């Protein structure tokens, strides 16, 4: 599953690399995955997409929307570009081959949508529709007032992780990007939002805006890979790459714990509970 910074990076790379390429073959669900979501019958993707030409792409939350005239693909999985006749992994969930024999493959990690929709349709999965409707934290519409309305609706009962990374409150902000956001704001993932001061909430908002923008402009996180299998240029502070190493600010060892069905990373010195 990709998150917002990676979706932004992939959308730009798809536009630059695939613009003008015509699809000759579309294979969906070649390697069935329990948590891969399609629209309709994946076997129909060949008829729906063959002969169509890639125009451009855009990012909405953790989805990359690829436009092909009056039809689009909305994909929330990692993507890989393949040069002429290069063989992809056999475990892809969507494979597009073009007239010049280059290709694009998409492979689900954990879960992901591979939706094929009419351009003006209002259908698709609920998380995709929410991502299309809500303002991106990279946009001006996601301002301080909007963020405080999100906090107010939580009534202070949610933890910092719950507020930011669950229920699609902020589409594209998931458990991966959450870690550095909360470290930057000096807030523990388990901390109840009702206990946060106005200054701490402002710090959280600022961190959401600044950290996500930095991740996107630097090519995504170093724990993820782009269209060309290259790691992102943003060096994560709290991630699987840094657990067990000293915090760059205070020197406290970075810890990992299970929380809410996933993992959290934190510095016990900078993020006191």
* pLDDT per residue as tens digits for the range 38-69: 999 999 999 999 999 999 999 999 999 999 98
Alpha helix stretches (DSSP H) within the chain: 4-18, 45-49, 126-133, 144-153, 160-165, 175-185, 198-217
Closest CA to 83 of 105, 64, 67: 105
Residue 139 in any domain: the answer is no
Do 205 and 92 have their domain in common? no
- Biggest CA pair distance of the chain: 58
Last residue of a domain, one of 101, 133, 165: 133
Residue 273 in any domain: the answer is no
> Taking a C-beta distance cutoff of 8 angstroms, is the pair 36, 75 a contact?
no
DSSP 158-201: SBHHHHHHSTTSSTT--HHHHHHHHHHHT--TT-BGGG--HHHH
Residue 226 in any domain: the answer is yes
Last residue of a domain, one of 71, 98, 133: 133
Instruction: Report how far residue 73's alpha carbon sits from residue 115's, in angstroms, rounded to the nearest whole number.
Output: 5
Last residue of a domain, one of 109, 133, 157: 133
Instruction: Report how far residue 35's alpha carbon sits from residue 65's, in angstroms, rounded to the nearest whole number.
Output: 19
pLDDT in tens, 119-167: 887 777 889 999 999 999 999 999 999 999 999 988 789 999 999 999 9
């Amino acid at each position: 599953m990709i998150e917002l910074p990676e979706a932004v990076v992939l959308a730009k790379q798809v536009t630059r690399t695939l613009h003008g390429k015509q699809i000759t073959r579309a294979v969906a669900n070649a390697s069935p995955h329990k948590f891969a979501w399609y629209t309709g019958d994946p076997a129909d993707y060949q008829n729906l997409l063959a002969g169509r030409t890639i125009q451009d792409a855009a990012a909405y939350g953790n989805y990359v929307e690829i436009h092909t005239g009056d039809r689009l693909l909305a994909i929330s999985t990692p993507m890989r570009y393949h040069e002429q006749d290069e063989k992809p992994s056999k475990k892809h969930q969507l494979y597009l081959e073009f007239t010049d024999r280059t290709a694009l493959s998409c492979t689900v990690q954990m879960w992901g949508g591979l939706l094929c929709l009419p351009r003006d349709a209002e259908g698709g999965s609920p998380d995709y529709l929410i991502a299309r409707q809500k303002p991106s934290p990279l946009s001006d519409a996601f301002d301080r007032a909007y963020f405080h309305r999100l906090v107010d609706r939580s009534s202070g009962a949610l933890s910092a992780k719950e507020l930011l990374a669950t229920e699609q409150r902020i589409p594209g902000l998931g458990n991966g990007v959450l870690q550095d956001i909360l470290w930057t704001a000096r807030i523990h993932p388990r901390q109840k939002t009702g206990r946060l001061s106005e200054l701490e909430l402002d710090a959280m908002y600022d961190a959401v805006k600044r950290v996500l923008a930095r991740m996107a402009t630097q090519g995504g996180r170093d724990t993820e890979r782009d269209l060309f299998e290259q790691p992102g240029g943003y060096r994560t502070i709290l991630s699987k790459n840094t657990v067990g190493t000293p915090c760059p600010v205070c020197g406290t060892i970075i810890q990992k714990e299970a929380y809410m069905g996933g993992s959290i990373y934190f510095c016990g010195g900078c993020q006191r509970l």
